[in-house]
Amino acid sequence: MPVGPEFSAATQKIVDAVLFDTFGTVVDWKSGVADAVEAIAFRYGFEVDAAEFALRWRARYAPATESVRTGVREFVTLDELHRENLIATADEMGLPIDRIEPADLAWLNQAWHRLDGWPDSVAGLTELKRDFIIGPLSNGHVALLTNMAKHAGLPWDVIIGSDVTRAYKPDPNVYLGAARLLDLPPHRVMLCAAHNSDLAAAQRAGLRTAFIARPQEYGPSQRTDLHATGAWDLIARDIRDLATQLRDHRTA
């Protein structure tokens, strides 16, 4: 006898898809970017605080994406925004970027494609993948996120980049567009993030939410997102703990 939908395992799960903010939540951008800056500095004999450079480069990220969200400029991919911000950061820190060969400059800019996952990321995602559709919901574009997945071994089912939705978070079109692409209502999609503001925007769009603290994302000076500040559906220690909670958390 066929099993009715009210009794199926799929309808008992709290969601069908778990999507992830990626930079900081799944991968350690600060270490990867700082390592690339240090490698270029060594190659060219520059003196630079690589960790500080990475932090300042990242600090230009939100204003750059905001210029696209507000219509100040047309949509461009994160690679282009990162390159502009790289040049501005080098100028700010007195790094003679004009002395860097174009191929090396491109390699440095693509440091964001070559980031390693946090220790729990691959194992946790692999566990989640058994029962849920998983993928990044990131301001990165498809090429960047694909390269990152190959580098870090991230076992995504689907990659939803900003060039697919043509929008940057926290634009609601990012969250709603992801649900439409998966042919799911928003409440059947969960966003997992280490950033409370990202979760607040996803929640307003109707998605379920899960918070994972990454207190070392910005290094020892981090003062924000050390704990959950909203009424999120789940709060987990890491991605493996999230997988455990989702396995045990069933709808009535």
Quote the CATH superfamily of domain 5-28+116-248.
HAD superfamily/HAD-like (3.40.50.1000)
pLDDT score recorded for residue 9: 47
Give yes or no for residue 62 having a pLDDT over 80: yes
Give yes or no for residue 6 having a pLDDT over 50: no
Burial of 202 (0-12, 13-18, 19+ CB in 10 A): buried
Place of tokens 């059947």: 188
Q: What is the mean pLDDT of the chain?
A: 93
- Please list, in sequence order, all residues whose beta carbon lies within 8 angstroms of the beta carbon of residue 140, skipping any fewer than 6 positions away: 22, 23, 78, 112, 148, 161, 162
What's the rounded mean pLDDT across residues 131-145? 97
C-alpha–C-alpha distance, residues 125 and 231, integer Å: 24
Q: How far is CA 34 from CA 54, 80, 86, 87, in A?
A: 5, 19, 12, 15
pLDDT band at 249 (very low <50, low <70, confident <90, very high): confident
pLDDT score recorded for residue 251: 56
Give yes or no for residue 128 having a pLDDT over 50: yes
Query: DSSP secondary-structure letter at 191?
Result: E
What's the rounded mean pLDDT across residues 232-242? 97
pLDDT score recorded for residue 27: 98
Q: Which of 104, 111, 1 is nearest to 58 (CA)?
A: 111
pLDDT score recorded for residue 125: 98
Give yes or no for residue 82 having a pLDDT over 90: yes
pLDDT band at 248 (very low <50, low <70, confident <90, very high): confident
Q: Tell me: domain 29-113, CATH 1.10.150.240, correct?
A: yes
pLDDT band at 89 (very low <50, low <70, confident <90, very high): very high
250 vs 23, residue with greater confidence: 23
Give yes or no for residue 11 having a pLDDT over 80: no
Q: pLDDT per residue over 166-199, tens digit each?
A: 999 999 999 999 999 999 999 999 999 999 999 9
Please state the domain extents for the chain: 5-28+116-248, 29-113
